[in-house]
Amino acid sequence: MAGSREAAIARAEGCFDSGAYLAALRRLVAVPTESQMPGSLPALTRYCAETLPALMQGMGFDHQVLDNAKPGRGPVFVARRIEDPARPTVLVYGHGDVVRGLAGQWSDGLDPWQVTVKGDRWYGRGTVDNKGQHLIAIEALRAVLAERGRLGFNAIVLVETGEEQGSPGLREVLRAHAGLLAADVFIGLDGPRQTTFMPEMKLGARGGVAFDLVVQLRDHAHHSGHWGGVLTDPAFRLAHALASIVTPQGRILVEGWTPPAIPPAVKRAIDGLVFEDIPGLPEPDADWGEPGLTKGEKIFGWTSVIVLAQLTGHPDAPTNAVQGAARARLQVRHTADVRGDAIVPALRRHLDARGFSDVQVIPVLERDMFGAARTDPDDPWVGFVAASMARTANRTPNIVPNSSGSNPSDMFQEELGLPVIWIPNSYAGCNQHGPDEHALAPLLREGLGLMAGIWWDIGEKGGRP
């Protein structure tokens, strides 16, 4: 039956079955868009100015390439199809850049810039992070256009090329083009799902703040026999300062670092999550961290602090001396319930109150390394998209209140005021930042159907929740 929801979903899945999706993916993966490599700008620009326009040709989108104001950083591709300003507008997000290809390190000599199909696994750099995922969104749009003759809503496809570097300049691009990018909701396809067997939504990200703790007492070391016990040892001062931050079981003691409580809607979403045991991954240590919280609450609803590195003297060749300095780098990850810019001042107060004014706290960056964001799980758009996915998949999706990792949710929330919804189509074993990155073919096919269902439903009369 033409012109139906079922037909649009079948058409999107048919694009997978016919090999058209794979052929398009090959063209995207072939562009070495390694944003972390110097000299990548021509490839990033080509992806935006040639590869994506060719992919979307004939879909009735007008496109442009927005320059990044930060020197040497990749541009942002924007394609818009405005059918009726009275209808809702969806901003569809993807990123065209990839991490380094690491050619030569892949199993069996696999070429990162070619898609190699081995059973259900499709190998190639960007197959899941993120080319294969924004391709799902675009092919599903194409399927709905073909079935309905129009989308029934307005779509803005935005593909940035700096995500693997923390999206430098993206915030400024969003701010400068806020009118062009005005929308009702953000839907981004990226990241792994918690399970291979359930569709999923993520509603934001935890933020990350990094800083150094430095005890700098003297310019150089002094003989440990003549000066030990007389000169203050910076390593012990640092160790005691560190020990004041968490209990021996890892419970955070710094006032202001943890949420007063996990908001009820967030707790409900976390408690409803289904996890999958992936062989080879560690088991959580039940007695580490905030007592009384589940694993899900600890990583999606609470704050964590990690010592990333710690140094005194020369561990590979110690000298018999009282060292002059000691330092450690820490990282705090926090939900939207804690302000990122409050982390360092709170620690300063904590240390001063315990007599550690000799321990300096030096932020690594002015702002958060990445900001925290979370769309309310009770937001009407969340319920609308979840219902659409449930209708297509015949089971309720996992709703993750925020990713435990990072993504640029905060920029879209803060600069464009959008509810942020991520729909991941990969899995935890996909090796997305190492050699052997691969997609799972059944998840790609399922994603095409799910997205066609979502696009169809938004375009239905009354598609704005």
Which spans of this chain sit near Zn ion (rule: CB under 5 A)?
129
| 354 CA to centre of own chain | 36
CB of 439 to Zn ion, least distance (A): 13
Q: In what helix (H) or strand (E) does residue 398 lie, and over which residues does it extend?
A: strand 398-400
| 196 CA to centre of own chain | 18
Nearer to Zn ion, 74 or 152 (CB): 74
Quick one: tokens of 323?
């060292």
What secondary structure does DSSP assign to 191-254, as a single string?
SB-S-SSS-EEE-EE-EEEEEEEEEE--SS-EEHHHHTTTS--HHHHHHHHHHTTB-TT--B-S
Quick one: tokens of 204?
């934001």
Nearer to Zn ion, 310 or 431 (CB): 431
CB of 457 to Zn ion, least distance (A): 29
Nearer to Zn ion, 129 or 337 (CB): 129
Nearer to Zn ion, 36 or 57 (CB): 36
What is the DSSP-derived secondary structure letter of residue 34? Answer: B
CA 216/CA 378 separation, integer angstroms: 49
Residue whose Cβ sits closest to Zn ion: 129
Nearer to Zn ion, 33 or 398 (CB): 33
CB of 190 to Zn ion, least distance (A): 8
Distances (CA, A) of 106 to 124, 184, 320, 434, 435: 10, 41, 45, 9, 5
Residue-wise over 364-396: b if at least 16 C-beta within 10 A, else e? beeebbbbbbbbbbebebbebbbebbeebbeee
Nearer to Zn ion, 129 or 139 (CB): 129
- What number of residues does the chain have? 465
CB of 287 to Zn ion, least distance (A): 32
Nearer to Zn ion, 81 or 131 (CB): 131
CB of 172 to Zn ion, least distance (A): 21
Nearer to Zn ion, 437 or 457 (CB): 437
Nearer to Zn ion, 408 or 449 (CB): 408
CB of 433 to Zn ion, least distance (A): 6
423: nearest Cα among 199, 143, 117: 199
Nearer to Zn ion, 129 or 410 (CB): 129
| 3-class SS of residue 449 | helix
CB of 405 to Zn ion, least distance (A): 9
Beta-sheet strands, E only, within 76-203: 76-81, 89-95, 116-118, 121-123, 154-160, 185-188, 200-202
CB of 169 to Zn ion, least distance (A): 17
Nearer to Zn ion, 154 or 432 (CB): 432
CB of 428 to Zn ion, least distance (A): 14
What secondary structure does DSSP assign to 35-49, as a single string?
TTSTT-HHHHHHIII
CB of 279 to Zn ion, least distance (A): 23
Quick one: tokens of 203?
């509603």
Dihedral over alpha carbons 173, 89, 129, 301 (to 10 degrees): 90
| 3-class SS of residue 380 | helix
Distances (CA, A) of 180 to 78, 79, 174, 177, 448: 9, 10, 9, 5, 27
CB of 183 to Zn ion, least distance (A): 24
| 447 CA to centre of own chain | 18
* Region for 274 from its dihedrals, namely left if φ exceeds 0, alpha if ψ lies in -120 to 50, beta otherwise: beta
